[in-house]
Chains A and B, each alone.
Chain A
């Protein structure tokens, strides 16, 4: 049968009409399976926000408030006991923050608030110059300064730079000790402000975050996956690699470790990995909806990949557990243990960056190119 132009035209209009209906159909018209997919995605995203981000934001604000209270007490009574209390509170606070660090997405990322909360390495020259200066040190003064002279890392420098007694002297007897104490208190006050700002940003962004279920680059799932990859790269390249000498010809450099003064580098990495694992599995709290990327992979038929990724998380923890001393010591004395951890992180990174991207379909989800 020959197709005439007339028949072809009719066919064309019918197909076009069907297509227009298809692409213009709103979500009210979607079928049960699609509704389930949308519901599933929204549930995963709301799970991330409600049971992880929101809770961590609250915990972080509480931790910074406690830190500030103790810091102000220390300003009144600068004793060794109070200094140790501040150090402990700083550690608790930083381990909360390191679980939240993963979610640097959307307006949270573009606001640069992360740099104001935790920029490392901190610039000790700036900090000492500010302390040695003549400007009045208060929270407004700290607010006016850049991220490299304030936040979590600046606090760590003031609290952990030397042994406890020497540090105590720096707040009680050393040159400019009063201004140093002012700087410490103002830093802790400013940290409350910044964490409250972070929470406010999240409260404003949350509806958009949860509803951005699209598969494109701006979809929240993709934003989170990209941040998972970015954080694993940060652990591998900056939190381990630089200290292992990856960028300086192989010479070990403990000063390149994150939080080496407080000797919390390894615990920070573990906190990062724990939050990554929870995000992957959606395993945030005692909620019936523990939906994560593992379920998404299983839904796509990649159960073995989901298992493999979880095995690699376990492998990372095994390597961490094999490190018996703080990283600052181990990187010098048992370099191989640290290298093993870096290798384990690399293997996990490859699985998430390459295999998971391949399973989900990066041409659709990650690429920003223009064609075939």
Chain B
């Protein structure tokens, strides 16, 4: 045991070129800068943060709330600028901390806008705080030349590779289910809707196509981390990465995710491989700097890496302890890299009964929630419970202090007919914690 830890430590402390880390820093910083200013340009600050009357907050993070519109613009701008500074390698340490805090704050405000790649960005931003990615080809190293490094310890690159592999690998694991593999769902639905796409679209008419896409997508996710990690297969693996993500970008409304994975995967390309590309395409000869001393790894770093990734490897599996069908109940669905694995739609309406007077009100979420909030809530039990709590507060303010709240909910998953989702006889007010609602989900019938 001790021997393997020593071997691991030795491997992680081995000095390697800083170049992949620098490339990753530049790509990540510039892409996220673009992404955040795009977020502003699309009017999503209003849509996500300031227009909704009510926010679906994350468990234990109820205290995270938005500010008024002008302040939110300021925060998103600061977040975008800090991403730019990361890309430029300017005030790097401060920029990574500001970016991590501001981005995570923005992500935590509204659960209905949860996306796997937002979670990924937060994790990578955290990891970037810990690594010296600004010590070459950066404004910081220009200003202070003694910062410059030619090499860094291997762990500074390995942690980013591992984080990227988590997305792929657990994304692949999530696809190991009967809907995906045996019924080719939801790809059967999604591809049939894109038969109008020139050339490729004609393939989607065939019944076999969604099966081919499902199986190849699953195999891609499970295998690509290993292909990227192996020197011999890396070139073809990167070709696959580009091809796969460009295809998904063209087929689905998937935003920044493909670009994040394409640019993120650059971390795997070594300095030697960059040199080959450079010699063939650019013939740019960067000067080698004089490195005064190696980057020193503090003693706690390796144990911290082990703890961090143990959590990363175990946490996505938590749904196995919580539910027997994570797609239906969504208990443990988030933060587990369930990427593009289901087509789900729902309908909800709430009935509020004043137990003192028997008065009855029907509450339609469309009258309070935004389109995205309404859609996401309609099939996510924890959000249904949260909305019931919001209604309880609303009616308490109207002096209806003793009320029961029931939900009529219908959900359709992966092409099945809609089914009752939450037991309509459940008084949601009587459920004291969000976790209790999972006990009242009506099992999925095939």
Residues of A within 8 A of B410 (CB): 350, 354
Nearest chain A residue, comparing its CB with the CB of B205: A33
The answer to whether A213 and B347 have CB atoms under 8 Å apart is no
The answer to whether B196 and A38 have CB atoms under 8 Å apart is yes
Chain A contact residues: helix, strand, loop or mixed: helix
Nearest chain B residue, comparing its CB with the CB of A365: B193
**How far apart are the CA atoms of A19 and B277 in the complex, in Å?**
22
A95 interface residue (CB < 8 Å to B): no
**How far apart are the CA atoms of A370 and B201 in the complex, in Å?**
23
As a 0/1 sequence over residues 93 to 127 of chain A, the CB contacts with chain B under 8 angstroms (1 = contact) are 00000000000000000000000000000000000
User: Which of A26, A300, A353 contacts B347, CB < 8 Å?
Assistant: A353
- Contacts A29-B198, A33-B195, A213-B196 given; indicate if A372 touches B235 (C-beta within 8 A): no
| A143-151, A153-161, A241-249: which lies at the interface | A241-249
The answer to whether A7 and B235 have CB atoms under 8 Å apart is yes
- Contacts A33-B195, A250-B360, A361-B189 given; indicate if A369 touches B239 (C-beta within 8 A): no
User: Which of A5, A214, A362 contacts B196, CB < 8 Å?
Assistant: A214
As a 0/1 sequence over residues 218 to 255 of chain B, the CB contacts with chain A under 8 angstroms (1 = contact) are 00000000000000110110110011001100101111
Please report which residues of chain A, range 1-52, place their CB below 8 angstroms from some CB of chain B when the two chains form the complex. Answer: 2-5, 7-9, 11-12, 15-16, 19, 21-23, 25-27, 29-31, 33-34, 37-38, 41
The answer to whether A5 and B360 have CB atoms under 8 Å apart is no
As a 0/1 sequence over residues 345 to 382 of chain B, the CB contacts with chain A under 8 angstroms (1 = contact) are 11101000010011111101011000110010000000
**How far apart are the CA atoms of A305 and B243 in the complex, in Å?**
36
The answer to whether A34 and B201 have CB atoms under 8 Å apart is yes
Interface size on A, residues (CB 8 A): 67
* Total inter-chain residue pairs, C-beta < 8 Å: 187
The answer to whether A361 and B190 have CB atoms under 8 Å apart is yes
As a 0/1 sequence over residues 217 to 255 of chain A, the CB contacts with chain B under 8 angstroms (1 = contact) are 000000000000000010001000100011111100000
B12 interface residue (CB < 8 Å to A): no
**How far apart are the CA atoms of A112 and B221 in the complex, in Å?**
49
| Minimum distance in angstroms from A344 CB to a CB of chain B | 14
**How far apart are the CA atoms of A365 and B360 in the complex, in Å?**
36
Residues of B within 8 A of A203 (CB): none
**How far apart are the CA atoms of A368 and B39 in the complex, in Å?**
12
| Minimum distance in angstroms from B407 CB to a CB of chain A | 13
| Minimum distance in angstroms from A299 CB to a CB of chain B | 8
B276 interface residue (CB < 8 Å to A): yes
**How far apart are the CA atoms of A301 and B235 in the complex, in Å?**
41
| Minimum distance in angstroms from B125 CB to a CB of chain A | 17
**How far apart are the CA atoms of A362 and B186 in the complex, in Å?**
11
- Contacts A360-B189, A369-B255, A371-B256 given; indicate if A354 touches B418 (C-beta within 8 A): yes
The answer to whether A15 and B115 have CB atoms under 8 Å apart is no
**How far apart are the CA atoms of A213 and B194 in the complex, in Å?**
11
A333 interface residue (CB < 8 Å to B): no
| Minimum distance in angstroms from B388 CB to a CB of chain A | 17
User: Which of A37, A354, A369 contacts B115, CB < 8 Å?
Assistant: A369
The answer to whether A215 and B235 have CB atoms under 8 Å apart is no
Residues of A within 8 A of B236 (CB): 3, 7-8, 11
A329 interface residue (CB < 8 Å to B): no
A61 interface residue (CB < 8 Å to B): no
As a 0/1 sequence over residues 349 to 368 of chain A, the CB contacts with chain B under 8 angstroms (1 = contact) are 11101110111111111111
**How far apart are the CA atoms of A305 and B252 in the complex, in Å?**
24
User: Which of B198, B232, B273, B360 contacts A2, CB < 8 Å?
Assistant: B232
The answer to whether B343 and A358 have CB atoms under 8 Å apart is yes
**How far apart are the CA atoms of A9 and B269 in the complex, in Å?**
14
The answer to whether A369 and B113 have CB atoms under 8 Å apart is yes
The answer to whether A372 and B257 have CB atoms under 8 Å apart is yes
B53 interface residue (CB < 8 Å to A): no
B412 interface residue (CB < 8 Å to A): yes
The answer to whether B232 and A250 have CB atoms under 8 Å apart is no
The answer to whether A372 and B116 have CB atoms under 8 Å apart is yes
- Contacts A349-B347, A365-B193 given; indicate if A371 touches B235 (C-beta within 8 A): no
**How far apart are the CA atoms of A3 and B415 in the complex, in Å?**
40
Residues of B within 8 A of A364 (CB): 190, 193-194, 252-253
User: Which of A3, A7, A19 contacts B243, CB < 8 Å?
Assistant: A19
The answer to whether B195 and A371 have CB atoms under 8 Å apart is no
Range of interface residues on chain B?
A: 35 or more
User: Which of A29, A37, A357, A369 contacts B345, CB < 8 Å?
Assistant: A357
Residues of B within 8 A of A301 (CB): 192
B202 interface residue (CB < 8 Å to A): yes
| Minimum distance in angstroms from A179 CB to a CB of chain B | 38
As a 0/1 sequence over residues 319 to 360 of chain A, the CB contacts with chain B under 8 angstroms (1 = contact) are 000000000000000000000000000100111011101111
**How far apart are the CA atoms of A357 and B254 in the complex, in Å?**
18
| Minimum distance in angstroms from B99 CB to a CB of chain A | 19
**How far apart are the CA atoms of A132 and B165 in the complex, in Å?**
76
| Minimum distance in angstroms from A348 CB to a CB of chain B | 11
The answer to whether B116 and A371 have CB atoms under 8 Å apart is yes
The answer to whether A23 and B361 have CB atoms under 8 Å apart is no
| Minimum distance in angstroms from A148 CB to a CB of chain B | 20
The answer to whether A372 and B200 have CB atoms under 8 Å apart is no
The answer to whether A371 and B361 have CB atoms under 8 Å apart is no
The answer to whether B273 and A23 have CB atoms under 8 Å apart is no
Residues of A within 8 A of B44 (CB): 370
Residues of A within 8 A of B253 (CB): 216, 363-364, 367-370
**How far apart are the CA atoms of A7 and B232 in the complex, in Å?**
12
The answer to whether A5 and B199 have CB atoms under 8 Å apart is no
Nearest chain A residue, comparing its CB with the CB of B362: A246
The answer to whether A249 and B361 have CB atoms under 8 Å apart is yes
The answer to whether B198 and A305 have CB atoms under 8 Å apart is no
B149 interface residue (CB < 8 Å to A): no
B111 interface residue (CB < 8 Å to A): no
| Minimum distance in angstroms from B334 CB to a CB of chain A | 11
**How far apart are the CA atoms of A350 and B349 in the complex, in Å?**
11
Residues of B within 8 A of A30 (CB): 198-199, 201-202
User: Which of B276, B347, B354, B366 contacts A249, CB < 8 Å?
Assistant: B354
Nearest chain A residue, comparing its CB with the CB of B338: A372
**How far apart are the CA atoms of A33 and B189 in the complex, in Å?**
18
User: Which of A7, A215, A246 contacts B193, CB < 8 Å?
Assistant: A215
Residues of B within 8 A of A365 (CB): 193
B340 interface residue (CB < 8 Å to A): yes
- B interface residues with partner A (beta carbon < 8 Å): 44, 113, 115-118, 186, 189-190, 192-202, 205, 232-233, 235-236, 238-239, 242-243, 246-247, 250, 252-257, 273, 276-277, 280, 339-340, 343-347, 349, 354, 357-362, 364, 366-367, 371-372, 375, 408, 410-418
| Inter-chain pairs besides A354-B412, A359-B415, A368-B253, 8 sampled, C-beta below 8 Å | A22-B199, A26-B198, A29-B199, A249-B360, A302-B415, A363-B253, A369-B253, A371-B117
A sample of 26 cross-chain residue pairs with beta-carbon separation below 8 angstroms, ordered by A number, consists of A3-B232, A3-B233, A5-B235, A5-B273, A7-B236, A12-B242, A16-B242, A21-B199, A22-B200, A25-B198, A30-B201, A30-B202, A33-B195, A237-B367, A247-B361, A350-B347, A353-B345, A357-B345, A358-B415, A363-B190, A364-B190, A364-B253, A366-B375, A369-B115, A371-B116, A372-B257
- A interface residues with partner B (beta carbon < 8 Å): 2-5, 7-9, 11-12, 15-16, 19, 21-23, 25-27, 29-31, 33-34, 37-38, 41, 213-216, 233, 237, 241, 245-250, 300-302, 305, 308, 346, 349-351, 353-355, 357-372
